[in-house]
Amino acid sequence: MLQKKENYRVAIIGATGAVGEEMMEILASRKFPLESLKLFASERSEGKIYDFLDDELRVEILDQADFSNIDIVLGATSADLARIYTPKALKAGSVIIDNSSAFRMEPLVPLIVPEVNGDLIATHQGIIANPNCSTAQLVVALKPLHDAARLSRVIVTTFQSVSGTGKNAIDELLQQTKDILSFKTPERNVYSEQIAFNCIVDWARDPETGDTEEELKIIEETRKIMGEPDLPVTATTVRVPVFRSHGESVTIETEKKLSLNEARALLSEAPGLTVLDDPARKVYPTPLDTADQDNVYVGRVREDRSCKNGLHLWVVADNLRKGAALNAIQIAEGLIR
């Protein structure tokens, strides 16, 4: 259990990845009360130096990490690595906030989006899970509508940027775009299909249902975070040639009728949400608008005339911030409170 203190010793594992670097920036910008910050990554990143506030931080090898003097570990690694290093950090007495899928559906591990179920942070037993990036922004938008009118169904189609796959995917989109515009044949390394000027579904599929891993994550994690294990949720996930920020087309049905004005008011007043919705002026959120922003943005709020109590929403957020690094640090802020 984390002891209350003035400043905290924090470590980031996977510090040199896109999410790890974002964590560093957010820790600094939000003035998280740090006594020290340790950076861990693979051997090939050993010795890399980052400027952090008034200091220079050197990356250390994750295999040699000593967690005995670390209060909070922020995990930004793969699920496989998380399963290796989380028990080590836990044994050393650290509290782990893990961004991978390794522990999200464990019954005793709270899966947290602070605006939705932040009260459950206190129930942790050493591990707190961060949700999938697409799930995080979705549930922030669903929460106020569910509280007011109770959801009876959720349908979501995602338009996910390549940064969700990591730095190599960003480089691949950039290089493929250059190659195509130079009349060269683009190479595929990160994705099985060309991502430049294309839309792909590049996640492994469940052999029984045909759903992708990403779709199942959204379904299962949304139910857990919302505290509604039987909520009907269905998802289609698509990777699009955008560098940063995920878009989601969301259709909901509610038990109680919500007018458009009521829905917009609920969304406008909810924590962590910004409504950009002015059809007459063509105002709505886009990935470019929301990149490097902390909030989840909602626009194109419309009535679904095909059912009794249906609404359509367009939900956009920076997947590296609210979808990953920011959410983890918000959890850490709740933890130390």
Q: Are 224 and 112 in contact (CB under 8 A)?
A: no
> Got the DSSP string for 209-271?
T--BHHHHHHHHHHHHHHT-TT--EEEEEEE-S-SS-EEEEEEEEESS---HHHHHHHHHHST
Distance CA 221, CA 216 (A): 8
In 3D space, the residue among 326, 331, 323, 295 whose CA is nearest the CA of residue 28 turns out to be: 326
Q: Which of 199, 246, 307, 312 is catalytic?
A: 246
Would you call 133 a catalytic residue per the annotation? yes
> Got the DSSP string for 295-335?
SEEEEEEEEETTSTTEEEEEEEE-TTIIIIIHHHHHHHHHH
Q: Tell me the backbone φ, ψ of residue 226, rounded to 5 degrees.
A: -75, -10
Distance CA 295, CA 205 (A): 31
Distance CA 288, CA 274 (A): 15
Catalogue the long-range contacts made by 208-211 (C-beta closer than 8 Å, 24 or more residues apart): 211/235
Q: Are 288 and 132 in contact (CB under 8 A)?
A: no
Distance CA 319, CA 327 (A): 10
Q: Tell me the backbone φ, ψ of residue 154, rounded to 5 degrees.
A: -135, 130
Distance CA 296, CA 7 (A): 29
List, by residue number, the catalytic residues: 133, 246
